[in-house]
A and B are shown apart, each in its own frame.
Chain A
Amino acid sequence: MNNWVLICVLLMLMALAYQFGLARSRSVAGQGAARMHSRPGYYGLLVALWCGLPALAVFLLWTLFEPGIIRSVVLNQLPPDLAGLQGNELEVLLRRIEQIASGFGVSDQPAAFELAAAERMRSLQNTGRLAMIASMAVLCVAGLVWTLRRIDPQLRARNQVESVFQALLVISSTIAILTTIGIVLSMVGEALHFFRFVNPAEFFFGTVWNPRFSTTGAADQGQFGLLPLLWGTLMVSIIALLVAVPAGLMTAVYMAEYAPAWLRAVAKPVIEVLAGVPTIVYGFFALITVGPFFSVLGQTVGIDIRATSALTAGVVMGIMIIPFVSSLSDDIITQVPRAMRDGSLGLGATKSETVRKVVLPAALPGIVGAFLLAASRAIGETMIVVLAAGNSPILHANPFEAVSTVTVTIVNQLTGDTDFASPQSLVAFALGLTLFVITLSLNIVALYIVRKYREQYE
């Protein structure tokens, strides 16, 4: 019987159990003088849960552990001369045995011991399967009968069903925590692994990035200096912020203070579209349109600008975070109390003077928060820089040249075949940890500032 069929049967049994519970609770209610504690549906649900959940648990545990157990039993009974088989050969043998056992067969003549092992595997699988179905059936029926017998006016069925519901909610909300723990543990674990190959001081303060390939031999480790990457990240992010912050802030000011309602209604959602476009699309846009444009521009002006450079990546990334800056600043500017504006206007200040001398200073903490959030977004951005920054991890201060960033290097070191033994791929986790710590601290500071600011006016 297929697993899906099994699950479907289980679900049908639960539906049936629900009906039994419903009927039973009604008949109990009909004969007894006391009022039932819960409505009939809850008794039905309780019976269905007791019928289904234990069997489901058995099913999950069984499918998780059974293949491993059968494998080890079959392997233990192989002829002694095969006991020394390792790695791939063992895998091949096992696959052949599995294929014979499943009835598909192998194309050449199987050896006698293979046939015997396959026979054993098949019988084990069959008994295992039968035992699983039998125990599930027993649990189903036992749960059903036991709960049906428990139904009486005193049984607090609703509370029990609701506690199952609440348990599900609690489990769901811990998943977010588990994710963070998973991130931290995997990063720290693999990064520590990496630091067994490379001295942390060399990593954090090294000025040369040249990891070599993992095949060139263990003696020749390559150099893993973080600084060129960090500098590239910083340069691209600064360019991005130089584009995004003035444009975003002025957009927000104009939208909040000047724009007629119709312009606001049209322009705001259109600019927000920029935030929804996938970053790979920006990367392609930078590579095909913006990069060549800057290159031609550089030729006419007489500066040597590469098509893939820190400038290209930074400007496109800036365009990407404009809506991010503008919508955050818009929220903050509209939160500045009306009275402050009126006071300034009443003293005879023009609108722009009010904005520059009253509204913006009052909103400054919030805007700084928005700025930090945008910076953290820019530092963590990957695809634009992968496509448009040119990937050259060298320390230099020329924005018209190619650079490399932390995120680009993570992608370069960890794609291809992933083996987790060489420093060349493990370095990705050390870089990831650095990135995580930087963005996390920026976020925490930013959220703290924004929250403080909100409290000020609430």
Chain B
Amino acid sequence: MHNDDASAPRTDPSTQRRLVERSLARRHGAEKRFRAAGLAAVFFGLGMVALLFASILAKGVPAFWQATVVTEVYFDPEIIKVDPRPVAQPGETPAQLHEREMAWQTQLTMANWNRIIENTLAAHLPEVTDARARARLRQLVTSGERFVLRDRVIADPALIGQRLTLKLLADANVDVWLKGNIDRSLPDSQQQLAPDVRAWADQLHERGVIQMKFNTTLFGNPDSRSSLASAGLAGAFVGSLFMMAIVILLAVPVGVASAVYLEEFAPRNRFTDLIEVNINNLAAVPSIIFGLLGAAVFINWFHMPLSAPIVGGLVLSLMTLPTVIIATRSTLQAIPPSIRQAALGIGASKVQMILHHVLPLALPGILTGAIIGVAQAIGETAPLLLIGMSAFVAAVPATPFDQSTALPVQIYLWQGNELRNFFEARTSAAIIVLLGLMLSLNALAIWLRKRFEKRW
């Protein structure tokens, strides 16, 4: 092209015009392509957001409904034969009473709860008479339900001999079968359930004995390995809430205090420069490094308990600290110096100026930064794995010192479960809960910013 330009006769305006027009067409084509590439990049980003949320929602939403057997249960006194519950006797130490109570509970646990569940289901399927087949009926209900029945009796021994309409969770495999999450045409050898159990499940589902009920276990139960259908998020959720509280109590005040010091008080010297460089670098340190710090310092040196939300909270606080400091500092920088000068001018001390004028004005910005930091912290997984929070915990923690998991760690644990058909949906449901929590926190931050933001 270039050579053509040089050799073309300069005097001929029509040739020149033709050349310019040709190059113009090329340049405009390039312009269009460039623009299209930009638009494509934007839509690639938007499409990925849509794909991510669509795939999680499509998988997770069905898991909020779970197959449940709604039926009358007879607490047969012939099967549950126990002594009356022990009461404190004079001269007995609490330890002795505790022991007798445990013995009573053991006796209750030894009762044939499976038989009760069997009888309950057989009432709906009278044609099943063979003893072996009757035993297979139990596969319809998840194994943890017998302990739920037992706990009801422990809570209220007067139930023995009564009939009660209860909701028994169906087994995880029944749930998978009824929801069609397993290929129904697979041969028997590849199915999780025996052919007759599958037929019963369909039969009971048609008759409305097995219903799809809203999944309260997901929110009310802790994790479970023996009874997969009753695995829930309660333990992880409470663990995450404890950690969130610790982060709010530690990282936010300390972060705001350091930001105030650095912005308002710190003299310009080597030491404050060091702090500043340090904070910027800490903000970019990979989160897993904080997990190593927690494992070495809190667990190995201070011998704090493994898997406890207190340790997780401390690690996440250290991780969130730089975020809070940086957000607070930029808010403080945005407050015009005239406010400070006015306060100082009418005789306020520096501390008074900060507490009475600067901080109240900076509060919305500080809160926004803090909430975003906290939301980030509760989504973090890697550091928690290193301080042992990936242990299996089948209880809801009562204090931050008890063993517990956290929501993201629970997601990590569930995605690795062998019963994939069931747990893919369950994991997605857990992700929806986690994202819901984070999105509501972020929405709160945006609302705060919109509501209270001041432009100077």
Chain A contact residues, CB within 8 Å of chain B: 99, 103-107, 158, 162, 165-166, 168-170, 172-177, 179-180, 182-183, 186-187, 189-190, 246-251, 253-255, 257-259, 263, 267, 270-271, 273-274, 276-285, 287-289, 319, 322-323, 326, 350-353, 355-356, 373, 376-377, 379-383, 386-387, 407, 410-411, 414-415, 417-418, 420, 428-429, 432, 435-436, 439-440, 443-444, 447
In the assembled complex, which residues on chain A have CB atoms less than 8 Å from the CB atom of B31?
Answer: 350-353
- Label chain B's interface by main secondary structure: helix
- A273–B49 CB distance below 8 A: yes
In the docked arrangement, what's the CA distance between A365 and B35, Å?
23
B42, chain A: closest CB distance, angstroms: 5
Indicate which residue in B27, B46, B96 contacts A350 across the interface (CB closer than 8 Å): B27
- A267–B45 CB distance below 8 A: yes
- A436–B41 CB distance below 8 A: no
- B95–A270 CB distance below 8 A: no
Chain B contact residues, CB within 8 Å of chain A: 27-28, 30-31, 34-35, 37-42, 44-46, 48-49, 51-52, 55-56, 59, 93-96, 98-99, 253-255, 257-258, 260-262, 265-266, 274-275, 278-282, 284-293, 295-297, 299-300, 306, 318, 321-322, 325, 349-351, 375-376, 379-382, 385-386, 388, 390, 408, 411-412, 415, 424, 427-428, 431, 434-435, 438, 442
In the docked arrangement, what's the CA distance between A107 and B45, Å?
65
In the docked arrangement, what's the CA distance between A284 and B98, Å?
45
B258, chain A: closest CB distance, angstroms: 4
- A414–B292 CB distance below 8 A: yes
- A432–B292 CB distance below 8 A: yes
- B257–A284 CB distance below 8 A: no
In the assembled complex, which residues on chain A have CB atoms less than 8 Å from the CB atom of B262?
Answer: 173
- A271–B46 CB distance below 8 A: yes
Task: Find the A residue at minimum CB distance from B299.
Answer: A418
Known A169-B261, A319-B52; further 12 A-B contacts with Cβ < 8 A: A107-B99, A179-B293, A182-B293, A251-B41, A259-B42, A280-B408, A281-B56, A281-B431, A282-B52, A284-B431, A432-B288, A443-B281
- A280–B379 CB distance below 8 A: yes
- B45–A284 CB distance below 8 A: no
Indicate which residue in A189, A288, A410 contacts B296 across the interface (CB closer than 8 Å): A189
- B379–A278 CB distance below 8 A: yes
In the docked arrangement, what's the CA distance between A105 and B412, Å?
42
In the docked arrangement, what's the CA distance between A11 and B385, Å?
38
In the docked arrangement, what's the CA distance between A380 and B289, Å?
9
- B95–A99 CB distance below 8 A: yes
B211, chain A: closest CB distance, angstroms: 28
Indicate which residue in A103, A174, A288, A319 contacts B59 across the interface (CB closer than 8 Å): A288
In the assembled complex, which residues on chain A have CB atoms less than 8 Å from the CB atom of B288?
Answer: 380, 382, 407, 410-411, 432, 435
- A410–B45 CB distance below 8 A: no
- A279–B381 CB distance below 8 A: yes
- B48–A322 CB distance below 8 A: yes
Given the interface contacts A284-B427, A436-B289, does A415 sit within 8 Å of B386 by beta carbon? yes
Given the interface contacts A246-B41, A281-B435, does A106 sit within 8 Å of B95 by beta carbon? yes
Indicate which residue in A176, A381, A429 contacts B322 across the interface (CB closer than 8 Å): A176
In the assembled complex, which residues on chain B have CB atoms less than 8 Å from the CB atom of A429?
Answer: 292, 296
- B285–A326 CB distance below 8 A: no
Indicate which residue in B48, B306, B351 contacts A319 across the interface (CB closer than 8 Å): B48
- A176–B278 CB distance below 8 A: yes
In the assembled complex, which residues on chain B have CB atoms less than 8 Å from the CB atom of A285?
Answer: 52, 55-56
In the docked arrangement, what's the CA distance between A173 and B44, Å?
42
- A414–B382 CB distance below 8 A: no
- Label chain A's interface by main secondary structure: helix
In the docked arrangement, what's the CA distance between A255 and B45, Å?
12
In the assembled complex, which residues on chain B have CB atoms less than 8 Å from the CB atom of A279?
Answer: 379, 381-382
- B286–A428 CB distance below 8 A: no
In the docked arrangement, what's the CA distance between A191 and B287, Å?
19
Task: Find the B residue at minimum CB distance from A378.
Answer: B286
- B42–A254 CB distance below 8 A: yes
In the assembled complex, which residues on chain B have CB atoms less than 8 Å from the CB atom of A249?
Answer: 41
Task: Find the B residue at minimum CB distance from A318.
Answer: B48
Q: Can you list 12 pairs linking A and B with CB atoms under 8 Å apart?
A: A169-B261, A172-B258, A176-B321, A182-B297, A183-B289, A247-B41, A250-B37, A267-B46, A281-B434, A353-B27, A410-B288, A411-B386
- B38–A175 CB distance below 8 A: no
In the docked arrangement, what's the CA distance between A247 and B40, Å?
9
In the assembled complex, which residues on chain A have CB atoms less than 8 Å from the CB atom of B45?
Answer: 247, 251, 267, 270-271, 274, 322-323, 326
B439, chain A: closest CB distance, angstroms: 8
Query: What 9 A-B pairs are tightest by C-beta distance, nearest first?
Result: A380-B286, A254-B38, A278-B379, A250-B41, A105-B93, A186-B296, A105-B95, A173-B258, A172-B257
In the docked arrangement, what's the CA distance between A428 and B262, Å?
35
- A274–B48 CB distance below 8 A: yes
Indicate which residue in B285, B286, B349 contacts A407 across the interface (CB closer than 8 Å): B286
- A276–B442 CB distance below 8 A: yes
- B286–A381 CB distance below 8 A: yes
In the docked arrangement, what's the CA distance between A420 and B301, Å?
10
In the assembled complex, which residues on chain A have CB atoms less than 8 Å from the CB atom of B275?
Answer: 173-174, 176-177
- B382–A382 CB distance below 8 A: yes
- A183–B293 CB distance below 8 A: yes
- A277–B52 CB distance below 8 A: yes
- B49–A186 CB distance below 8 A: no
In the docked arrangement, what's the CA distance between A287 and B381, Å?
16
Q: Which of A277, A376, A386 counts the most chain B CB atoms within 10 A?
A: A277
- A288–B258 CB distance below 8 A: no
In the assembled complex, which residues on chain A have CB atoms less than 8 Å from the CB atom of B351?
Answer: 162, 165-166
Q: Which of B94, B299, B351, B390 counts the most chain A CB atoms within 10 A?
A: B351
- B293–A444 CB distance below 8 A: no
In the assembled complex, which residues on chain B have CB atoms less than 8 Å from the CB atom of A356?
Answer: 34
Indicate which residue in B28, B281, B350, B412 contacts A180 across the interface (CB closer than 8 Å): B281
Q: Which of A281, A319, A352 counts the most chain B CB atoms within 10 A?
A: A281
